[in-house]
Structure 1
Amino acid sequence: MSRQIILHFSTKDVPGARAFYTALGFTVNEAVSSGSCVYIIMSDTISVMFSEESVFSTFSPRGLCDTSKFLEVLTCLTCSSRAEVDEMIRKALEAGGSVFEEAEDHGFMYQHSFLDPDGHGWNLIHMTESP
């Protein structure tokens, strides 16, 4: 069975989330997007739904994470090269994101992290070989 990963995050600003992630080069599935949510396609198997906080809160009885104080999750995304990692970080910063951790080179793995404008953490990884 083929599986897909659909991440679901809250956002304070649906148009802002749309602008940020399309600035990184990702596309929007308009068929499942609306004024209260945007569905971002990252690859054939990974998508992210960003729902405004009032809508997102209907999906769980738990409260929302205050991402200005806490990291709810660090989502890792593989990249095809170090250059792609650096380019996506550059685009994220230009689009209003911030660096979460500085770049690290472990020889077999290069990584760099950013926070989107809502404080969601993304770790970009390029691996050249197994550790």
Structure 2
Amino acid sequence: MPQMIFVNLPVKDLAKSMDFFKALGFSFNPQFTDETAACMVISDTIFAMLLTHEKFAGFAPKPITDTNQSVEVLIALSRDNREAVDAIVKAALAAGGSTFSEPQDHGFMYGHAFRDPDGHVWEVMWMDPAAVQAQ
């Protein structure tokens, strides 16, 4: 069985968060989704568990980070090309997200970032496969 990752994120309004990510093209696994949690499918082995604050608090003994005051994590996702990076950021902004940083073009790598409605930062990037193979 391949190794998987489940990123757990606290959300204030589960339905609103699900609607936001559905607008970006993500789906949810109904087997692990209820009124307190939603399992967002990022890939076959990567998932984001969107948890109500109450549910999240049951797993974390420390207070939930105020994302208006600080950044708790940078979640980086790859895309197949620059256009796909721009497309998901554009969709995020249209769905109620906000810009976290301006696009960064390093030639062999291109990235842009947005904040979801709960302030979690999603960095989206593309890297030229030829540049990776040259390493």
Q: How does the TM-score come out when normalised to structure 2?
A: 0.94
Partner of 2:74: 74
Partner of 1:16: 16
3-state SS of 2:39 partner: strand
Structure 1 unaligned segments of length 5 or more: list them.
none
Partner of 2:3: 3
Q: Amino acid of the residue matched to residue 58 of structure 2? A: T
Q: Amino acid of the residue matched to residue 65 of structure 2? A: C
Partner of 1:83: 83
Report 1:1-131 matches (<5 A): 2-128=2-128, 129-130=131-132
Q: Amino acid of the residue matched to residue 45 of structure 1? A: T
Q: Amino acid of the residue matched to residue 30 of structure 1? A: P
**2: CA distance between counterparts of 1:37 and 1:13?**
10
Q: CA deviation at 1:26?
A: 0.6
Q: Amino acid of the residue matched to residue 38 of structure 2? A: V
User: For this pair of structures, how many residues does the alignment match?
Assistant: 131
3-state SS of 1:83 partner: helix
Q: CA deviation at 1:38?
A: 1.1
**1: CA distance between counterparts of 2:73 and 2:98?**
16
**2: CA distance between counterparts of 1:18 and 1:60?**
22
CA shift digits 1:54-78 (9 cap, x unpaired): 1101101111100011100001000
3-state SS of 1:59 partner: coil
**1: CA distance between counterparts of 2:21 and 2:41?**
9
**1: CA distance between counterparts of 2:61 and 2:30?**
28
Q: Aligned-residue CA RMSD in angstroms?
A: 1.0
**1: CA distance between counterparts of 2:24 and 2:48?**
13
**Structure 1 moving runs of 4+ over 4 Å:** none
Q: How does the TM-score come out when normalised to structure 1?
A: 0.97
Q: CA deviation at 1:2?
A: 1.7
3-state SS of 2:49 partner: strand
